[in-house]
Amino acid sequence: MKKTLKVGIVGCGWFGNYHLDNLLKMEGVEVAALAASNPERLAQTARKVPGAATFTSGAQMLREAQLDAAVLCVTPARHEGLEVLAAQRGIHLYVEKPIGLCMQEVEDTLRAIESAGIIAAAGYQGRYSPAMQEARQFLQGRKIGLVRGEWVGNMPGTPWWRVKDASGGQIVEQCTHIFDILRYLVGEMQAVSCQGLTGLLTGVENYSVEDCSSTTIRFENGAVGNILTACYLDTGKAPGHIGFSIYAQDAQVECEWGKEIRLISGDTTKILRLDGQDHARAMSAFLQAVRQQDPSLVLSSYTDAAKTLKATLGANQIMQTQTL
């Protein structure tokens, strides 16, 4: 088992730095390389890791740096074959969600990953929460009928987020967490219908995502659900809601995203607090999987993340024909 893993990070924005801060706290990890196209962000981030090599492109880093693993924190439309290049070089991957905007490109990546035999994880950190694991166990064997998910809030300030060709829109980029965790807790799903609305927000530059959407889901086990998105709220006046509800015959699971999960059965309600450490847990599990060459330690593989992407892209495609 390799004692120290050399890790590189592609993308030095907020999320790249978030992962970097977690990696710097972990034993047996050397952040050996950083890559970003923005020279100011690259220089600023490199100050945290004086010994790391720096590169102006992720492709250059993957070709030239000697790495065991790479963390890809690029925007959804800018993966640009980085995963395939890493696989060809035998570099294990942790890819932030969403893993792309094109299923054909993701399927090409899957073939490269499988051919190379690397471990590839995706950033659906909610699966690693002890509370979410307990909720999953709580639901085992129960008959689920109705499911509801929501990511209802305001417009993120990141300029590329509001451009649908760059982000994929709210379903693909943000609410993907709700789609993924419901797949994990309830089962595989199909997007059977989706409608969207535009025109509520005005005066926002380069704004091409939907204001809100409603996706109706049928799960393979027969359960039905609805997932709502919105990014038009003034959250200083209308706070919105992020979370989900799962209704079984004899129990209920309620989640306030980032805060708590409630397991309800009869007169008993068990409250499980969410501690905000799931990103670190997900990264730690990935690195342990690399050390032990044990992909079973990864709860959200790239292969599984492709199924979540397929569901969200499917909802988007249907919505395009039904948006008001």
Quote the strand ranges of 114-237, DSSP E.
120-122, 144-152, 189-197, 212-219, 224-230
- Residue 13 is given by DSSP the state S
CA-CA distance, 269 to 186, in Å (whole number)? 20
Nearest CA to 22 out of 31, 12, 32, 13 is that of: 31
In the chain the beta strands, taken as DSSP E runs, fall at 5-10, 29-35, 53-55, 69-72, 92-95, 120-122, 144-152, 189-197, 212-219, 224-230, 241-248, 252-256, 260-265, 268-273
Q: What is the pLDDT of residue 29?
A: 98
Domain edges within the chain: 5-123+278-298, 126-275+311-320
Q: Which amino acid is residue 12, in one-letter code?
A: C
- pLDDT the model gives residue 203: 87
pLDDT (0 to 100) of residue 191: 77
By the 10 Å C-beta count (0-12 exposed, 13-18 middle, 19+ buried), 85 is classed as middle
Can you read off the two tokens belonging to residue 29? 């990890």
Token pair for residue 49? 């890791």
Given strand 212-219, what is the order of strands in its sheet?
A: 189-197, 212-219, 224-230, 144-152, 241-248, 252-256, 260-265, 268-273
| CATH fold label, 5-123+278-298 | Rossmann fold (3.40.50)
Q: How far apart are CA 124 and CA 176, in angstroms?
A: 9
Tens digit of pLDDT at every position of the chain (324 positions): 678 999 999 999 999 999 999 999 999 999 999 999 999 999 999 999 999 999 999 999 999 999 999 999 999 999 999 999 999 999 999 999 999 999 999 999 999 999 999 999 999 999 999 999 999 999 999 999 999 999 999 999 999 999 999 999 999 999 999 999 999 999 999 878 999 999 999 889 999 999 999 999 999 999 999 999 999 999 999 999 999 999 999 999 999 999 999 999 999 999 999 999 999 999 999 999 999 999 999 999 999 999 999 999 999 999 988 776
d(CA 246, CA 253): 5
Residues near 280 by beta carbon (within 8 Å), at least 6 away in sequence: 22, 25
> 232: burial class by Cβ within 10 Å (0-12, 13-18, 19+)?
buried
Q: What is the pLDDT of residue 33?
A: 98
CATH architecture of the domain covering 126-275+311-320: 2-Layer Sandwich (3.30)
Model confidence, pTM: 0.97
pLDDT of residue 34: 98
The single-letter code of the amino acid at 205 is E
Based on DSSP, count helices (H) and strands (E) in the chain, helices before strands: 11, 14
Q: What pLDDT does residue 324 have?
A: 63
State the virtual CA torsion across 284, 254, 269, 277 in degrees, nearest 10: 20
